[in-house]
């Protein structure tokens, strides 16, 4: 069975190499940019792939929404199976791609888009078929986890941690999607679509790690707390979906504190199964390529979908989840929150807030930053 590849960057190369060694599969044509055709198996003409009857499935490894969506749509319309690791594409256009796949009878799988080699979405889908998923989430971005781990174990500051992550290939030249929490948020969106057939596109709360400083880390260590960037999603008692990303402080004895370097720790909670955690490499050439080929092998066994064509785009409701927060902010802005405890350090204060809704903390932070002030906040894990 021939499997074509769209894109020949880090992941695309890994897929090609693994296809050459996978029994029953072989690499087909590889789509590259114009001017990059330097081998017989490469092409800059998508039609060579969609019109080739020997191509059974296609791995999309391009990234971004366009032209990936246009190419992926053409693949599915041609009746060829599609697997992708492109979280931005599925978060933006998943229902449309699912509808095209259903109409043509093709398969559309994307477990590689969340967690790299970790079979998180794969297992989540299976669990959702027989259990009620109460919540899901975890540490879903290896770049930020690597940076946080470096800052807290090696004592480096944010800028040095980012430079090291870029030097090792964990962070892109433009790391915004990672450090802002957007990458992890897209993965949470895909988890919601897989578990609940609901794709949250509005009302999401997102806080990354850009505001964490070496001084914050020092203070957190004195409290025996470890900072991780965590995603949370689930259904409220009224059936409303919540979904958000934010820094979370856990005790230095918690499982999350042991997730080191660029590893991920994903979880879901089933009504019957209880808490299930999965840990492993969340990104990289071969971990992601292995996940793409896992989906290809699932197609070979008859799997056809992870997202239904009737998946609904919904607004998340983050007014019911509540947390206490550790907050560092200017002294003259402290009255924006109610604190259980507060320590002054010159013109800066650090404190633990009363319990408040996630959406309110994020709104307060946005307002204070809009007034030109800096702050850091992280939820406290009880």
Residues designated catalytic: 187
15 Cβ contact partners less than 8 Å away, ≥ 6 residues apart: 3, 5, 27, 59, 61, 289, 292, 293
Q: Which of 226, 222, 277 lies closest to 251 in space, CA to CA?
A: 226
Cis peptide before 49 (omega within 30 of 0): no
Nearest residue to 281 via CA among 139, 92, 97, 94: 139
Q: Is the peptide bond before 67 cis (omega within 30 degrees of 0)?
A: yes
Q: Can you tell me the distance from the alpha carbon of 282 to that of 147, in angstroms, rounded to the nearest whole number?
A: 14
Cα separation, 350 vs 348, whole angstroms: 7
User: In terms of Cα–Cα distance, which of 35, 15, 34 is closest to 25?
Assistant: 15
CB-CB neighbours of 365 under 10 Å: 23
State the CB neighbour count (10 A cutoff) for residue 54.
Answer: 10
Cβ neighbours, 10 Å, residue 79: 12
CA-CA distance, 124 to 241, in Å (whole number)? Answer: 17
Under DSSP, is residue 181 helix (H, G, I), strand (E, B) or coil? coil
Residue 227 contacts residue 340 (beta carbons within 8 Å):
no
Which element (helix H / strand E) includes 33?
none
Q: Are 198 and 168 in contact (CB under 8 A)?
A: no
DSSP E strands, 116-218: 133-139, 198-202, 205-206
**Contact of 55 with 29, CB cutoff 8 Å:** yes
Q: How far apart are CA 118 and CA 287, in angstroms?
A: 8
Q: Quote the distance between the C-alpha of residue 155 and its chain's center.
A: 26
């Amino acid at each position: 069975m021939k499997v074509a590849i769209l894109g020949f960057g880090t992941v695309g190369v890994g897929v090609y190499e693994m296809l050459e060694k996978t029994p029953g599969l072989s690499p087909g044509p590889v789509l590259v940019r114009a001017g990059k055709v330097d081998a017989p198996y490469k092409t800059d003409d998508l039609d060579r792939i969609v019109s080739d009857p020997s191509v059974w499935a296609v791995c999309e490894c391009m990234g971004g929404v366009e032209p990936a969506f246009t190419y992926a749509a053409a693949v599915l319309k041609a009746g060829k199976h599609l697997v992708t690791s492109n979280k931005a594409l599925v978060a933006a256009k998943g229902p449309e791609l699912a509808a095209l796949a259903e109409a043509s009878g093709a398969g559309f799988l994307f477990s590689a888009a969340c967690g790299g080699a970790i079979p998180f979405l794969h297992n989540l889908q299976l669990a959702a078929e027989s259990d009620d998923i109460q919540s899901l989430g975890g540490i879903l971005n290896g770049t930020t986890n690597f940076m946080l781990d470096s800052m807290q174990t090696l004592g480096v500051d944010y800028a040095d941690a980012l430079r090291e992550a870029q030097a090792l290939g964990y962070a892109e030249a433009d790391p915004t999607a990672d450090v802002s929490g957007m990458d992890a948020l897209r993965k949470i969106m895909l988890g919601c679509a897989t578990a609940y057939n609901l794709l949250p596109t509005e009302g999401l709360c997102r806080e990354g790690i850009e505001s964490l400083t070496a001084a914050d880390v020092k203070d957190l260590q004195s409290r025996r707390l470890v900072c991780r960037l965590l995603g949370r999603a689930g259904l409220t008692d009224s059936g409303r979906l919540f979904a958000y990303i934010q820094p979370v402080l856990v005790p230095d004895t918690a499982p999350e504190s042991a997730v080191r370097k660029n590893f991920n720790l994903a979880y879901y909670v089933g009504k019957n199964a209880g808490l299930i955690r999965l840990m492993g490499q969340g990104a990289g050439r071969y971990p992601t390529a292995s996940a793409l080929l896992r989906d290809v092998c699932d197609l070979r066994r008859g799997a056809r979908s992870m997202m239904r064509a009737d998946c609904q785009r919904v607004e998340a409701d983050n007014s019911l989840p509540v947390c206490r927060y550790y907050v560092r902010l200017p002294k003259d802005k402290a009255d924006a929150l109610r604190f259980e405890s507060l320590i002054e350090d010159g013109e800066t204060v650090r404190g633990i807030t009363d319990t408040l809704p996630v959406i309110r903390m994020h709104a307060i932070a946005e307002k204070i930053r809009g007034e030109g002030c800096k702050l850091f906040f992280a939820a406290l894990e009880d």
